[in-house]
Amino acid sequence: MREKVTIPDLMEKRAKGEPITMLTCYDYPTALLEEKAGVDIILVGDSVGMTVYGHSSTLPVTMDIMIAHCQAVRRGAPGALLIGDMPYLSYQVSVTEAVRNAGRFMQEAACDAVKLEGGRSMAPVFRALTGAGIPAMGHLGLTPQSLAMLGGFRAQGRDAEAAWRVIEDASILEGAGAFSILLEAVPPEVGDETTRRASIPIISIGAGPHCDGQLLIVHDLLGFFERFTPRFVKKYADLNHTILEAFQAYLSDVAARNFPSPEHCYPMKKGELARLASLIASAKGRCEEENP
């Protein structure tokens, strides 16, 4: 088992210019594989609402759903730095609720940190979380919990003012205690400038190659989510195709009685087949005597 990844480890990677790797994860078997691959950070994202539960946005995801998925992922990935994504309404209503809900990720699911969306208006929440000893990652650019305000899943920071606002927000959140910031779907120049100004790790999901690390949603990377594919996704596998082929092969095997074959069946213990035959024969004899 590898040594646990810590926030100082991430700072060290940033200082050395070594890229930080990050993936989302929602379940135990995938966590086992991400851990085996050696990913630095695992985010249990509220994207679970779309990738696993089939919702059209992340808004229906609740704290209880997030905690259950974080617990499963922690069991499979004891070594990765595990971040629980704070779902919609778990931190926007009050700072007190934000601390209580963030604390649940740490206490009930053994997370190492939490992530929350939003710019400068979230600075008081970052200060409170840091004060409570809960490491918090910021999330700027395309923030899916504000989809209604943003008008859909579209790139952000593409004009100079909007870009500058993202860059400024990152500095403000760092000043409020964020240990790292995730930048989603902004031009690479915004990723570059934000990273240059920061003294904490800046992670990109669609923010170009100049950031300190990269994140992809695991279902996108594996080709396991068909509804849409953002421009920033690189597919490393085609699981949809592989799984569909496996299901179709199973259905035709069953239809043709090719499955199960002898290697999938449990043999009787030695000598027991003859004894069973005699039990069946004597039961049949009794039945014929009773019903001539």
Q: Which stretch binds ligand KIV (CB under 6 A): 43-51, 99-107, 189-197, 268-276?
A: 43-51
* Number of shown-chain residues binding ligand KIV (CB under 6 A): 11
Annotated catalytic residue within 34, 35, 174, 184: 184
- The dihedral built from the CA positions of residue 20, 132, 77 and 29, taken in this order, carries a sign that is negative
| DSSP-derived secondary structure for the chain | -PPPP-HHHHHHHHHHTPPEEEEE--SHHHHHHHHHHT-SEEEE-TTHHHHTT--SSSTT--HHHHHHHHHHHHHH-SSSEEEEEPPTTSSSS-HHHHHHHHHHHHHHH--SEEEEE-SGGGHHHHHHHHHTT--EEEEEES-GGGHHHHTSS-----SHHHHHHHHHHHHHHHHTT-SEEEEES--HHHHHHHHHH-SS-EEEESS-TTSSEEEE-HHHHTT---S---TT---S--HHHHHHHHHHHHHHHHHTT-SS-GGGSPPPPTTHHHHHHHHHHHHHHHHHHH--
Q: How far apart are CB 154 and ligand KIV at their closest, in Å? A: 14
User: Which residues from 53-92 bind ligand KIV, rule CB under 6 A?
Assistant: 85
**Is there binding between residue 45 and ligand KIV (CB under 6 A)?**
yes
Q: How far apart are CB 161 and ligand KIV at their closest, in Å? A: 24
**Is there binding between residue 167 and ligand KIV (CB under 6 A)?**
no
Q: How far apart are CB 17 and ligand KIV at their closest, in Å? A: 23
- Binds ligand KIV by CB under 6 A, chosen from 182, 186, 198, 207: 182
- Binds ligand KIV by CB under 6 A, chosen from 35, 46, 112, 169: 46
Q: How far apart are CB 41 and ligand KIV at their closest, in Å? A: 11
**Is there binding between residue 201 and ligand KIV (CB under 6 A)?**
no
Annotated catalytic residue 184: yes
**Is there binding between residue 217 and ligand KIV (CB under 6 A)?**
yes
Q: How far apart are CB 196 and ligand KIV at their closest, in Å? A: 22
User: Which residues from 21-40 bind ligand KIV, rule CB under 6 A?
Assistant: 24
Interacting residues with ligand KIV (CB under 6 A): 24, 43, 45-47, 85, 139, 182, 184, 205, 217
| Catalytic center residues | 184
